Copies of this chain bind each other. A is one copy, B any other.
Amino acid sequence: MPTLLDVARAAGVSTATVSKVLSNTPYFTEATRAKVMQAVDELGYVPNLAARALSSGKTHIIAVVFPYVYDALFTDPLVLRILEGIEAELTKRGYNILLSTPRLRESGPDTHYTRLIRSGYIEGVIALDSVPMASVLEIVRQRKMPAVAIGYHPNTYSIRSDDHQGGQLQMEHIIRLGHHKIGIIASDESLHFSIEHRLRGLQHMAEQHGLSYQQMPRANGDFSIDSGAKAARQLLTEHPDLTALLCLNDRMAMGAIQTAQAMGRQVPDDLSVIGYDNIPLSMASSPALTTIDQQAPELGRIAATMLFEVFDGKQPATATLPTTLIVRQSSSHVLVNNY
């Protein structure tokens, strides 16, 4: 592999000149620039990133941190969509993605992760940070590294989807359809800030329409299909009069639909089911799932953009993306004879 020195020799200049020309420093004649560039092309020179990192601290590597929660990480299509947005923006700017998936414990993230952060390899961090018990960004903050959280981290630049509004949209939609016997499939809100906000959104809208959120039966899952199925079975068994299930993610909703059908309920005729996330496959379930879109790729893209603003010394304001209701076939007006 040719080095800066090789290029410098070939072009008949010093290494400093080559380095500066390559980083577009002013004060060079066109002639010198051309000489250098030609040498670079001829030798096929590519800068050694390790050397550059050591010397300048610029590694062009961003850690994208998706903590393990419930092991659901690699099973959640939403993660992939967020990653898509991040990738698009980072690649556009010539940055690389180092994917980190720390395991969380009460004592904090695992040491593999903390070592990575402190290794000098990472120029910035984008993290999914919505787990109250253990923040992956705490150590990043201590080191004063540029970072953006996707979620509800209080002390960092952050972006999030408007979970409260999303919850409201779910509830509003189902109430408009005439339902009032409504079950909720969620997860433990103490494990996930987003869930907490969505639930508050549900509550807010319910009470605004004179329904008691407290009395709505609820079962918790762990975001998986199976857990949604189980939760639905429990709710429909204990409360056979339910006409609607609001699920806080699509996979649980799909599990719920399956269970409902297995229990002899027609969806949406006997039971409306609403999901949350608008994962790509939600349109392919039968019936296609009514759900809340939270612009996952956009969330990632903007997080990346914000990180570059931080690089530039700016202080990007916390952003909140609106959600939208996607009406498909899994929800419909409550049947008259249910009244």
For A171, what are the chain B residues with a Cβ–Cβ distance below 8 Å?
A: none
Are A47 and B254 CB-contacts (below 8 A) given A94-B112, A280-B225? Answer: no
Q: Which of A14-22, A117-125, A154-162, A316-324 contacts B (4 or more CB under 8 A)?
A: A117-125
How many copies altogether?
Answer: 2
Q: Using a CB-CB cutoff of 8 Å, which residues 37-87 of chain A contact chain B?
A: 44, 46-51, 53-54, 59, 61, 64, 73-77, 79-81, 83-84, 87
Instruction: Out of B50, B74, B281, name the residue touching A50 (CB < 8 Å).
Output: B50
Q: Using a CB-CB cutoff of 8 Å, which residues 78-113 of chain A contact chain B?
A: 79-81, 83-84, 87, 91, 94, 96-101, 112
Alpha-carbon distance between A253 and B286 when the two chains are bound, in angstroms: 12
Instruction: Out of B100, B120, B284, name the residue touching A49 (CB < 8 Å).
Output: B120
Are A288 and B258 CB-contacts (below 8 A) given A80-B79, A115-B46, A119-B49? Answer: yes
Whether A261 sits at the interface, judged by CB under 8 Å, is: yes
For A80, what are the chain B residues with a Cβ–Cβ distance below 8 Å?
A: 74-77, 79-80
A177 to chain B, nearest CB (A): 21
Alpha-carbon distance between A97 and B46 when the two chains are bound, in angstroms: 21
Alpha-carbon distance between A58 and B53 when the two chains are bound, in angstroms: 14
Whether A13 sits at the interface, judged by CB under 8 Å, is: no
Instruction: Out of B94, B116, B261, name the residue touching A286 (CB < 8 Å).
Output: B261
Q: In the bound complex, do residue B101 and residue A98 qualify as a contact, i.e. CB atoms below 8 Å apart? A: no
Q: In the bound complex, do residue B121 and residue A50 qualify as a contact, i.e. CB atoms below 8 Å apart? A: yes
Q: In the bound complex, do residue A96 and residue B74 qualify as a contact, i.e. CB atoms below 8 Å apart? A: no
Residues of A contacting B: mostly: helix
Q: In the bound complex, do residue A50 and residue B59 qualify as a contact, i.e. CB atoms below 8 Å apart? A: yes
A291 to chain B, nearest CB (A): 14
Are A98 and B100 CB-contacts (below 8 A) given A50-B53, A120-B48, A225-B284? Answer: no
For A10, what are the chain B residues with a Cβ–Cβ distance below 8 Å?
A: none
Count of chain A residues near B, Cβ 8 A:
55
Q: In the bound complex, do residue B283 and residue A286 qualify as a contact, i.e. CB atoms below 8 Å apart? A: no
Instruction: Out of B100, B112, B281, B297, name the residue touching A225 (CB < 8 Å).
Output: B281
For A185, what are the chain B residues with a Cβ–Cβ distance below 8 Å?
A: none
Q: In the bound complex, do residue B284 and residue A286 qualify as a contact, i.e. CB atoms below 8 Å apart? A: no
Alpha-carbon distance between A1 and B57 when the two chains are bound, in angstroms: 13
Alpha-carbon distance between A280 and B254 when the two chains are bound, in angstroms: 11
Whether A218 sits at the interface, judged by CB under 8 Å, is: no
A261 to chain B, nearest CB (A): 6
Give the one of A46, A76, A94, A257 with max B CB within 10 A. Answer: A46
Alpha-carbon distance between A338 and B285 when the two chains are bound, in angstroms: 27
Q: In the bound complex, do residue A101 and residue B77 qualify as a contact, i.e. CB atoms below 8 Å apart? A: no
For A151, what are the chain B residues with a Cβ–Cβ distance below 8 Å?
A: none
For A204, what are the chain B residues with a Cβ–Cβ distance below 8 Å?
A: none
A residues neighboring B (CB under 8 Å): 1, 44, 46-51, 53-54, 59, 61, 64, 73-77, 79-81, 83-84, 87, 91, 94, 96-101, 112, 115-116, 118-121, 225, 251, 254-255, 257-258, 261, 280-281, 283-288, 297
19 example contacts (A-B, Cβ-Cβ < 8 A) are as follows A1-B120, A48-B119, A49-B119, A49-B121, A50-B119, A53-B54, A73-B84, A74-B80, A75-B84, A75-B280, A77-B80, A79-B80, A87-B99, A94-B112, A96-B116, A257-B286, A258-B284, A285-B286, A286-B286
